[in-house]
């Protein structure tokens, strides 16, 4: 029955966080995953720890779900869908009420959720608060769509009627990344639930905590048992079984290109519906007539925002040659104001990377860049607070290159590393922008509206910003061209990924 959940199921993951400061690492404790409406451990008892990336200190542990755990989560979701517990036998307005309630609960717990995100993935507290605000809005937005999913009546002649109806696709395996843990989860969960699907969510092993809180919120809001399940675990152990299980109708994944290719190949065997939001090496094109202060700050935000852990990061900054040196100097000055530290400190503007492995990967790009032909223009500094000595910090870096042959100008780094590349004219800027396997996003800085529109139309990218960088409104569309993905998310476009179309043909007696 849809309604208020049994309060004894509440896990209260926010406790102990109200007084957290930049020097505190409140214990999260030993958590369980959520399957079939119950909090459970892994069947084999396995667990793994989650750490605060600002200090490297352990803050808690979660179950290490494996194939057997995924099997019971998928079985629960399949049963919930086939029995109509949430989809076709539940009124759309009832689903909407539950999603509106989820939005309210997210807002009520905003402060705790934001702090939890900081502790789990490292981002500054202000950025985390903005993420949580958008999570609440996303549930609200798709709650509104739950009552507005409509089909069509195509004309088929006077002696028949054809009804095209929309139905939920079924059981959805949702695999989310670690850079925006709760936001990316909501980006998939909200439209899936609005469409009437059931869900098995697998958060990234680096950042599992907010997904578990989302399960708690869903239960409290009245999502029926087994409609929303969360399995924590390592990708190959907890994600892979969803790809090969024929009871799963759809996979939605956000992450790396390599994993996305593997998912598409694997899901082809069952012809699963697949949505992939993959990597990027986005161009940020600055013309000589750009609005200089805005272009400087926007270009730096595009690379250094969220520690550079952004799939759409404008890490290739293409600058018209006549302003190249002036623009680089201005970006260096802007970058020098960035302050690294614990995300719980409100004076901090850049936190640590998510893990030691990611830090080592990004440092590998930095260390090899000079030998590859890149010139170091600016290097930031790690925080000097001894409490943060074990943190996974990489300071912002700016490199200049003459062309796009160096590795840092071609490969996705997913860290605060900017590559500046000169160009002479509009045609060369477009050619350089296209010289990549990716096509997720691009930014254009110019005061010439005709040039802006010509360039935007020419660029093969799913999202193009003009005189701005990185906005991703939930009401609009998100997704990429080329190797940056398959399908679209956000806005009404996301609903298509969770719906099937059925034609009902009625002979009227002709």
Contact partners, residue 290, CB within 8 Å, separation at least 6: 323, 445, 446, 447, 467
Contact partners, residue 5, CB within 8 Å, separation at least 6: 219, 220, 221, 222, 223
Phi, psi of 86, deg, nearest 5: -135, -30
CA distance linking residue 117 with residue 345, whole number of Å? 14
CA distance linking residue 502 with residue 192, whole number of Å? 18
Catalytic: which of 197, 311, 334, 412? 311
Across 328-340, b (16+ Cβ under 10 Å) vs e yields bebbeebbeebeb
Residue 277 designated active-site? yes
Backbone conformation region of residue 467, classed left if phi is above 0, alpha if psi is from -120 to 50, else beta = left
CA distance linking residue 342 with residue 54, whole number of Å? 5
CA angle, 190 then 191 then 194, to 5°: 90
Contact partners, residue 382, CB within 8 Å, separation at least 6: 340, 393, 395
Contact partners, residue 66, CB within 8 Å, separation at least 6: 42, 43, 44, 46, 233, 237, 238, 241
CA distance linking residue 355 with residue 307, whole number of Å? 12
Catalytic: which of 205, 220, 237, 277? 277
Instruction: Show which residues are catalytic.
Output: 277, 311
């Amino acid at each position: 029955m849809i309604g208020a959940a049994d309060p004894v199921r509440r896990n209260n993951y926010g406790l102990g966080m109200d007084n957290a400061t930049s020097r505190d690492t409140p214990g999260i404790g030993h958590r369980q995953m959520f399957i079939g409406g119950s909090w459970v451990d892994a069947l084999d008892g396995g667990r793994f720890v989650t750490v605060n990336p600002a200090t490297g200190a352990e803050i808690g542990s979660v179950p290490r779900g494996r194939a057997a755990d995924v099997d019971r989560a998928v079985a629960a979701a399949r049963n919930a869908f086939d029995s109509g517990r949430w989809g076709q036998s539940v009124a759309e307005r009832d689903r909407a009420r539950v999603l509106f309630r989820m939005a309210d609960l997210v807002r009520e717990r905003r402060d705790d959720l934001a702090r939890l995100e900081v502790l789990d993935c490292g981002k500054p507290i202000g950025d985390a608060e903005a993420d949580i605000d958008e999570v609440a809005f996303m549930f609200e937005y798709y709650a509104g769509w739950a009552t507005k999913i409509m089909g069509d009546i195509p004309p088929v002649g006077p002696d028949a009627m054809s009804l095209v109806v929309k139905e939920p696709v079924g059981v959805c395996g949702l695999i989310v990344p670690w850079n925006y843990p709760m936001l990316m989860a909501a980006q998939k969960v909200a439209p899936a639930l609005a469409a009437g699907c059931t869900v098995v969510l697998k958060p990234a092993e680096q950042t599992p905590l907010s997904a578990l809180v989302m399960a708690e919120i869903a239960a409290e809001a009245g999502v029926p048992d087994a409609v929303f399940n969360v399995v924590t675990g390592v990708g190959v152990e907890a994600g892979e079984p969803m790809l090969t299980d024929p009871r799963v109708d759809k996979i939605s994944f956000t992450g790396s290109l390599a994993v996305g290719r593997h998912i598409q190949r694997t899901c082809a065997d069952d012809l699963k519906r697949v949505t992939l939001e993959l990597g990027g090496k986005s161009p940020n094109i600055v013309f000589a007539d750009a609005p200089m202060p805005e272009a400087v700050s926007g270009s730096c935000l595009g690379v250094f925002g969220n520690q550079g852990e952004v799939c759409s990061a404008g890490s290739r900054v293409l600058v018209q040659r006549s302003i190249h040196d002036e623009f680089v100097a201005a970006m260096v000055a802007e970058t020098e104001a960035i302050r690294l530290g614990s995300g719980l400190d409100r004076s901090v503007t850049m936190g640590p990377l998510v893990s030691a492995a990611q830090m080592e990967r990004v440092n590998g790009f930095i260390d090899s860049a000079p030998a590859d032909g890149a010139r170091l223009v600016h290097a930031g500094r790690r925080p000097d607070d001894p409490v943060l000595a074990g943190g996974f910090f990489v300071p912002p870096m700016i490199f200049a290159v003459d062309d796009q042959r160096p590795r840092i100008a071609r490969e996705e780094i997913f860290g605060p590393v900017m590559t500046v590349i000169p160009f002479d004219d509009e045609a060369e800027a477009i050619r350089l922008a296209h010289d990549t396997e990716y096509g997720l996003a691009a930014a254009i800085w110019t005061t010439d509206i005709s040039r802006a529109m010509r360039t935007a139309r020419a660029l093969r990218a799913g999202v193009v910003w003009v005189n701005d960088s990185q906005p991703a409104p939930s009401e609009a569309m998100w997704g990429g061209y080329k190797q940056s993905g398959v399908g679209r998310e956000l806005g009404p476009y996301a609903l298509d990924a969770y719906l099937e179309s059925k034609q009902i043909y009625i002979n009227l007696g002709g």
